[in-house]
Structure 1
Amino acid sequence: MSQSKKKDSAPPTVQYFAAVLRLLRERAGLTQDELGALMSYTGSAVSAVETCAKPPTDEFIDAAEKALDAGGLLRSAIKYLRLERYPVYFQGFVQLEQEAVSVSSYCTQVIDGLLQTEQYARALLKSNYPPFETDEVEQLLEARMDRKPLLSRKPMALIHVVLEEAALRRKIGGPEAMRQQYEHLISCASGANVTIQVMPSSRAEHAGLHGPMKLIETSDAATLAYMESHGESSLVSKPDKVSVLARRYAMMRTQALGPEESQNFIEQLMGGL
């Protein structure tokens, strides 16, 4: 793909950052090589960002901010550039998730992205069909890992996850990846703000059979529901519809194993690897 086509196909925020970076560099009278040297990057790395061949990382932005003494202009873009790493259909949810008072999830096929280890997430992304390009996998992986600060954020967010047993038994990435994933789930559940429950396969009928969902409580006490499947998503805000989904989720919590039973269940799965 030509340089101009790469730039035209890049997300608008990436294009804008590239233009601002180039403007600041030229105003400083620096070549790409000279700016790269000040940032401890190569000139080609600067060129890749300016031509939108590669989106800037947080580390690149910080280095450019300092080298160009940009007064916060470049660093202020980090929040918006991070959103561009996510699929378009997921960007709205991520903004809500990071500011939420509580997030409740019901997962049927895979472990919730918020609780995934890097190895598990990478294997999952590589399994996509049609396949992602290597740089797409890394970009999406970085974006998924960027969500993790919510687990330890202050003020504290309450996280509740109901996991289908099938999602826990599917050995994505192989036995060692799953061992690390089980250990991570147990570690997360030890936190005061994270609760994990397992919906056992022995519970043949339960309230979650309609499919996966998430509930988000916002700082102004509103509750929204989010559902996603095959690259399509819907955000539900109508109170009557959200109420039905919230009651359905509450019933699922009573039907799933309790938190302590769930931890024992995960430990047994880990012991069987």
Structure 2
Amino acid sequence: MARAENKEMASPTARLVAEVARTMRGSRGWTQEQLGEEIGYSAAAVSAMETCAQPASDDMLAALERVLGDSSRVFEAARKYIRMEKYPDEFKAYVPLEQAAVRIELYAMDFVHGLFQTKAYARALIGGGYPPLPDARVTELVEARMARQALFDRDPTALIQLVLEESVLTRVFGDKQIMREQMRHLAKCARRRNVTLQVLPSDPGPGGEYAGGHGSLNVLETPDHQHLAYVEVQEESWLLSDPAKVSRYAQRCAKIRAQALSTRESLDYIERLAGDQQ
């Protein structure tokens, strides 16, 4: 929702987009209503964007690029920075590293990892949290989370290894239909050549060994082969580069993978949950 206080809190990128859009619109002699007709938005939405009462969404930026961008690609460039500004403060340092990584090892024990979430699942998860967030902020965070998934189709591709705690697959966010769609999305992701997806069963088996009890974990390798770890607890986060600590986390990831179901068994289980197998 467009709000007056947003004008004072608008980011530098949002202000730049507003000024450039206003200038380019003026150079064409268009009213806000005319620009809105060209990009598929109301005059009020254009006014809100130009005054920073409601910064441009990712979809609006794409439309502005199509209609006003010409060869400058200024709105396309702005999309990356607007997305970054939507992330929670504790997450902003991690996202660029994730997007550039050549290898990512992930263990999720509370909910499906953000890189693998459907839009409906992400909205149910973010919108159902506490304290409750305004609808506009929920939409911003969902859009930012979906934008991260461009990593899957990046060239060169990244190797992504994900282990999901079994309870993640049975804990319902939203409703059962959202969960079925999420399971089908996971199955689709599991078939990607650059993705390894496994399920860590709740029953540890005869040996009783369980390496996943310390919480969710991300370990990544940067293009210059630096290894980093990222952990979150109750909206607090730590990005770690100390080789000894990162090595310990990487070893824990390896142990978790060894205790998980095989990729084939994991895919079969996920498909059963989706109702795609008897």
TM-score (norm 2): 0.89
* Structure 1: gaps of 5 or more residues: none
| Offset, 1:146 | 1.2
Deviations 1:110-134 (A, max 9, x none): 0111111122112111211111111
User: Where do 1:77-88 residues align within 5 Å?
Assistant: 77-88=78-89
Structure 1 residues 166 and 32 mapped into 2: Cα distance closer, same or farther (>3 Å)?
A: same
Q: Give, as a single letter, the amino acid of the residue that structure 1 aligns with 2:104.
A: V
| Offset, 1:158 | 0.9
Q: Give, as a single letter, the amino acid of the residue that structure 2 aligns with 1:44.
A: A
| Offset, 1:29 | 4.5
> Distance in 2 between the 1:63 and 1:152 partners?
22
1:107 to 2:108 alignment: yes
Mapped contact 1:3–1:51 kept (Cα < 8 A):
no
Q: Give, as a single letter, the amino acid of the residue that structure 2 aligns with 1:11.
A: S
> Distance in 2 between the 1:2 and 1:157 partners?
38
1:133 to 2:134 alignment: yes
| Offset, 1:40 | 4.0
Deviations 1:204-236 (A, max 9, x none): 542221111101111111111111122221111
| Offset, 1:28 | 4.7
For the residue of structure 2 that corresponds to 1:233, the secondary structure is: strand
Of 246, 254, 260, 1:256 maps to 260
Partner of 1:216: 220
User: Where do 1:25-64 residues align within 5 Å?
Assistant: 25-64=25-64
What fraction of aligned residue pairs are identical, expressed as a percent?
45
> Distance in 1 between the 2:186 and 2:158 partners?
17
Q: Give, as a single letter, the amino acid of the residue that structure 2 aligns with 1:5.
A: E
Moved more, 171-180 or 56-65: 56-65
Partner of 1:172: 173
For the residue of structure 1 that corresponds to 2:214, the secondary structure is: coil
Partner of 1:93: 94
Moved more, 30-39 or 147-156: 30-39
Q: Give, as a single letter, the amino acid of the residue that structure 2 aligns with 1:58.
A: D
For the residue of structure 2 that corresponds to 1:178, the secondary structure is: helix
TM-score (norm 1): 0.90
> Distance in 1 between the 2:183 and 2:64 partners?
39
> Distance in 2 between the 1:224 and 1:212 partners?
15
| Offset, 1:57 | 2.6
Partner of 1:6: 6
> Distance in 2 between the 1:239 and 1:221 partners?
12
Mapped contact 1:6–1:51 kept (Cα < 8 A):
no
Deviations 1:139-166 (A, max 9, x none): 2111111122212222111111111111
> Distance in 2 between the 1:65 and 1:121 partners?
27
1:236 to 2:240 alignment: yes
